[in-house]
Chain A
Amino acid sequence: MKEILAIEHLSKSFRIHNLHKHIEALHDINITLREGEFVGITGKSGSGKSTVFKCIYRTYAPEAGAIWYHSQTFGPVDLARAPERQIINLRKREIGYVSQFLNVMPRTTARELVKQAVLEMGREERQAEWEADKMLAHFELDEELRDCYPATFSGGEKLRLNIARAMVKRPRLLLLDEPTASLDDASKLRVRELMLQLIREGTTMLGIFHDLAFMENLCDREYTIRDGCLTDLQNHVPSTLETMREISLAK
């Protein structure tokens, strides 16, 4: 299968000037993702997992190395160096990111938030509304809550909304930074169902999950990060997913 993301020799450190501190966060990271794969990243907290994600999404400015992403519209793009405007475009249309924290527009209802995500893709108003509703229903967000401001939501509700907002776009590449950390089992199942559906539709995913049971049978490969370095990659975790994919290919 074609490569969609190739991280080459990525390094990142933080220089905090007024404290005279220099923190090495990532050192020589190499990761490749092929189209349609689900790859997991594991490692202790503080090891640099999220930093990798934020470098890919350019919330952090990568220091050295390259992050090659094969875009549908632009072809190969080095996310570490691409112009800001191109990154904004890719964020709107191709690359999704779900973190553990919901970053919302104040005074914007849940429904509006998800709808805006679809509108960013260039869809029509009516369709956006319909897709947003469908997604919110899937995550069992109460009809009443949908027209409320998410600032007052419970942790789990916020998280579900966060995932809904990213997944409703059906991005080509989805970065999942522990999106299920504080969800109950029923909600986790919902997330899982949707992830399987997106994988079937061809979304490539890179995920951090502390919940190993959740990861199991879901990801194709795993990378482990320790102290900012990539350690042995257990190259192949055969999964039900692969079998599923084989079946669908055979068809």
Chain B
Amino acid sequence: MDYVQEPVLSVRNLNKQYGGGCLNCRGAKADRLIKNFCPVCGTVYACRDVSFQVYAGEILGVVGESGSGKSTLMECLYFDQEVDGGEALISSYKNGEANLFAESSQQKRYIRNHMMGKVYQNAALSLKMDFSALGNIAEKLIAAGSRHVGRMETRGRELLEHVNIPSYRMKERPKNFSGGMQQRVQIAKALSNNPPLLLLDEVTTGLDLSVQASVLDLIKTIQRELGISVVIVSHDLSVIKMLADRTFVMLDGQMIEHGLTDQILEDPQHPFTQQLVQSLL
């Protein structure tokens, strides 16, 4: 029964701040902050006590206005940033008993290379624009311990084919690719080590509609075929509506509301969520 399963990823009280804090704002007391900003020392509280679970084979949506802490959250989960508090457990790592944030950087690299894939809005953050598309995939495979060139090439071709990159362009540099193609190479790269968890940060933002559609379809197909768990961050509610089973809403670094995606869209409770949904075209 898939309902009684253990979560694939479990995050508890994740905190991230930019700045040291001061007497005024320590403990992130809400009434002393302007939104999530301390007017005395200038500290920004980007994520405040964010907790959630992701289960096998589900897509969890994260929405919120820009600056609400969505991307910071994803960066913390992928160890792009150090957290200031909280824990994250992954079921496939040490039986889901070790706090990932407390692991050594070597272990973090291992977790990142074997148990996660991430796709950024800005492809340059994950792709080496001067390597070939195939080379980019090989890079991640090498990081995960592969050494056999022939096998890596086969795997790379298979993945790129899966995301519809024509075989005659696989040796080309992503620099020459369109935005949509770059996103697809990123997705192929993120999937290369068969991670149980995929983190998608604004993957369709800035793409034109037809390209956006093909990327969304690809995500849906991959998720269905591989049974992978996905956390998708987007400020575009229609993307969330199409993909996510459950959704949570962030505002000023806090999770203000969560629910089934259709409930969030049809019966939002929080004033900010209502405003967000009303803004939907």
Contacts and interface: CB of A to CB of B under 8 A. Distances in A.
Contacts of A236: none
B246 A88 contact: yes
Given A18-B274, A88-B246, A106-B213, A61 B269 contact: yes
B242 A106 contact: yes
A59 interface: yes
- Of the listed residues A15, A59, A89, the one surrounded by the most CB atoms of chain B closer than 10 A to its CB is A59
Contact of B3 (A15, A16, A85, A105): A85
Interface in B202-222: 213, 217, 220
A59 B241 CA distance: 13
A59 B1 contact: no
Given A17-B271, A18-B274, A107-B217, A84 B259 contact: yes
Contacts of B245: 88
Interface string B80-116: 0000000000000000000000000000000000000
A141 B1 CA distance: 34
A177 to B, nearest CB: 13
A159 to B, nearest CB: 19
B271 A84 contact: no
A74 B4 CA distance: 10
A14 B58 CA distance: 29
B263 interface: yes
B3 A60 contact: no
B31 interface: no
A61 B267 contact: yes
Contacts, number: 51
Interface string A64-88: 0000000001100000000011111
Contacts of A61: 259, 263, 267, 269
Nearest to B214: A107
A216 B278 CA distance: 40
A210 interface: no
Size band of the A side of the interface?
A: 20 to 34
Nearest to A122: B2
Contacts of A138: none
Contacts of B260: 58-59, 84, 87-88
A188 interface: no
A54 interface: yes
A14 B267 contact: yes
B271 A59 contact: no
B154 interface: no
Nearest to A83: B3
Nearest to A87: B260
Given A86-B3, A88-B245, A88-B246, A59 B275 contact: no
A60 B263 contact: yes
Contact of A54 (B1, B266, B271): B266
Interface string B51-70: 00001001000000000000
A190 B275 CA distance: 42
A181 to B, nearest CB: 19
B181 to A, nearest CB: 19
Contacts of A60: 263, 266-267
B267 A59 contact: yes
Contact of B242 (A14, A17, A18, A105): A105
A84 B262 CA distance: 11
Given A61-B259, A84-B260, A16 B267 contact: no
B213 A107 contact: yes
B274 A84 contact: no
A59 B3 contact: no
A15 B274 CA distance: 10
B38 to A, nearest CB: 27
Give the 4 A-B residue pairs with the shortest CB-CB distance, closest first: A17-B271, A60-B267, A89-B3, A59-B262
Interface of A: 14-18, 54, 58-61, 73-74, 84-89, 105-107
16 contacts: A17-B271, A18-B271, A18-B278, A54-B266, A54-B267, A59-B266, A60-B266, A61-B259, A61-B269, A73-B3, A85-B55, A89-B1, A89-B3, A105-B220, A105-B242, A106-B213
